[in-house]
Amino acid sequence: MTQPRRTNPLSPLVQAVPAVPALAIFFIGPGAGFIERRGAPFILTIVIVLVVGFAVFAALSWLAWWRRTFWIDDDGDLRVDSGVIQRSARRLQLSRLQSVDVVTPFVARLVGLVELRVEVAGVGDSRIVLKYLTRAEADALRGAILELARRESAESSDGALEAPEIPLAAVPNGRLLAGLLLRSTTAALLLASVAFIAFTLWAQGPVALVLAMVTGGLPILSVVTQFLANYGFRVTRTPDGLRIRRGLLSTQVRTVPAARVHAVELVSPLLWRRWNWVRVTLTIAGVEGDELRPDVLIPVAPRAEALALIAEVLPGVDVDSLVFDEAPRQARWRSPFAWRYLACAITPQVIAARSGRITRRLGLAPHARVQSLRITQGPWERRLGLASLHADTAPGPVDVSARHLSYASVRPLADEELVLMRRARRVP
Partner 1 sequence: MGDVDDAFAPPADGWVPVSPRLATARRITLLLVYVVVLAGGAILWVSPLAPAWTIAYAAIAVVAFVWVWWLIGRRVASFGYAERDNDLLVVSGLILRRLVIVPYGRMQMVDLRAGPIDRWLGIATVQLHTAAATTDAAIPGLPPDEAAGLRDRLAARGEERTAGL
> Which residues touch 377 (CB under 8 Å, ≥6 apart)?
386, 387, 388, 407
Say whether residue 39 binds partner 1 (CB under 8 A).
no
Near partner 1 in 386-415, by CB under 8 A: 387, 390, 392-395, 407-412, 414
Judge contact between 219 and 185, C-beta under 8 A: yes
Q: How far apart are CA 92 and CA 117, in angstroms?
A: 12
Say whether residue 121 binds partner 1 (CB under 8 A).
no
Among 17, 177, 220, 373, binds partner 1 (CB under 8 A): 373
Q: What are phi and psi of 427, to 5 degrees?
A: -105, 90
Biggest CA pair distance of the chain: 85
Q: How far apart are CA 419 and CA 373, in angstroms?
A: 12
Tell me the closest approach of the beta carbon of residue 259 to partner 1, in angstroms. Answer: 13
Cα angle: 66, vertex 71, 77; to 5 degrees: 140
Say whether residue 428 binds partner 1 (CB under 8 A).
yes
Tell me the closest approach of the beta carbon of residue 281 to partner 1, in angstroms. Answer: 17
Among 200, 238, 377, 397, binds partner 1 (CB under 8 A): 377
Near partner 1 in 280-339, by CB under 8 A: 285
The per-residue DSSP string of 208-222 comes to HHHHHHHHHHHHHHH
Positive or negative, the CA dihedral 245, 246, 247, 252 is negative
Tell me the closest approach of the beta carbon of residue 294 to partner 1, in angstroms. Answer: 20
Tell me the closest approach of the beta carbon of residue 24 to partner 1, in angstroms. Answer: 43
Q: What are phi and psi of 368, to 5 degrees?
A: -65, -20
- Using DSSP's 3-state secondary structure scheme, residue 334 falls into coil
Our CB check for partner 1 shows the closer of 179 and 328 to be 328
Q: How far apart are CA 343 and CA 352, in angstroms?
A: 8
> Which residues touch 29 (CB under 8 Å, ≥6 apart)?
none
Q: What is the DSSP letter of 428?
A: -
Q: How far apart are CA 284 and CA 287, in angstroms?
A: 5
Our CB check for partner 1 shows the closer of 151 and 425 to be 425
Our CB check for partner 1 shows the closer of 271 and 421 to be 421
Our CB check for partner 1 shows the closer of 73 and 415 to be 415
> Which residues touch 131 (CB under 8 Å, ≥6 apart)?
7, 11, 14, 15, 108, 115
Judge contact between 128 and 90, C-beta under 8 A: yes
Our CB check for partner 1 shows the closer of 184 and 401 to be 401
Is residue 93 classed exposed, middle or buried when 0-12, 13-18 and 19+ CB atoms within 10 A define those classes?
A: middle
Say whether residue 378 binds partner 1 (CB under 8 A).
yes
Say whether residue 426 binds partner 1 (CB under 8 A).
yes
Tell me the closest approach of the beta carbon of residue 390 to partner 1, in angstroms. Answer: 7
Judge contact between 121 and 138, C-beta under 8 A: no
Q: Which stretch binds partner 1 (CB under 8 A): 44-52, 311-319, 352-360, 365-373?
A: 365-373
Q: How far apart are CA 428 and CA 424, in angstroms?
A: 7
Tell me the closest approach of the beta carbon of residue 417 to partner 1, in angstroms. Answer: 9
Tell me the closest approach of the beta carbon of residue 261 to partner 1, in angstroms. Answer: 13
User: Total number of residues binding partner 1 (CB under 8 A)?
Assistant: 31
Say whether residue 375 binds partner 1 (CB under 8 A).
yes
Tell me the closest approach of the beta carbon of residue 410 to partner 1, in angstroms. Answer: 4
Tell me the closest approach of the beta carbon of residue 359 to partner 1, in angstroms. Answer: 21
Our CB check for partner 1 shows the closer of 350 and 387 to be 387
Near partner 1 in 250-289, by CB under 8 A: 285
Say whether residue 153 binds partner 1 (CB under 8 A).
no
Among 9, 336, 376, 383, binds partner 1 (CB under 8 A): 376
Residues that bind partner 1 (CB under 8 A): 285, 370-379, 382, 387, 390, 392-395, 407-412, 414, 418, 421-422, 425-426, 428
